[in-house]
């Protein structure tokens, strides 16, 4: 079993299962990011176009965090706190989604998730109040 042996749509959920979603494209565009948000979350993201990610249940459990320019929208489960996906500021036609939420995905499959240097996207000093 390897990354693209998981059948589509990919099925994802937060830790407690309140929020469920589908990704209607294969796993691609894996990346890590070092903006002030991602360096705290530390997850590896997959890439989907806006209409390729569908919340199938628990929309009411999603909360959104925005800061700074408020273009990026970071979605997380109100119950368990897991970030499921976010609308990218670098391309608001895309979502980054938390690859660790995908059913059947093994973190050990990640051999190379390139770092996208987004420190400048943060616009705020990372460790200053």
- CB-nearer residue toward Zn ion: 14 or 121: 14
In this chain, which of 6, 10, 12, 18 binds Zn ion, going by CB under 5 A? 18
The string of DSSP letters for 2-60 reads -GGGSPSSEEEE-SSSS-EEEE-S-S---BEE-STTHHHH---EEEEEGGGEEEEE-GG
Whether residue 62 contacts residue 95, with contact meaning beta carbons closer than 8 Å, is answered with: no
In this chain, which of 3, 16, 44, 55 binds Zn ion, going by CB under 5 A? 16
Report the residue count for the chain. 129
Choose the stretch contacting Zn ion; rule: CB under 5 A; options: 18-26, 67-75, 83-91, 101-109: 18-26
Residues 77-96, one symbol each (x = binds Zn ion by CB under 5 A, - = not), give x-xx----------------
User: Which residues of this chain interact with Zn ion, rule CB under 5 A?
Assistant: 14, 16, 18, 77, 79-80
């Amino acid at each position: 079993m390897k990354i693209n042996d998981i059948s589509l749509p990919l099925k994802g959920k937060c830790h407690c299962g309140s929020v469920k979603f589908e990704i209607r494209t294969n796993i691609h565009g894996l990346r890590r990011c070092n903006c002030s948000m991602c360096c705290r979350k530390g997850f590896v993201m997959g890439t989907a176009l806006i209409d390729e990610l569908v919340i199938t249940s628990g929309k009411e459990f999603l909360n959104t965090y925005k800061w700074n320019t408020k273009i990026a929208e970071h979605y997380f489960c109100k119950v368990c706190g897991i970030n499921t996906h976010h609308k990218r500021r670098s391309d608001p036609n895309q979502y980054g989604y938390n690859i660790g939420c995908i059913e059947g995905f093994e973190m050990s499959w990640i051999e190379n998730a390139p770092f996208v240097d987004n420190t400048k996207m943060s616009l705020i000093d990372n460790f200053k109040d």
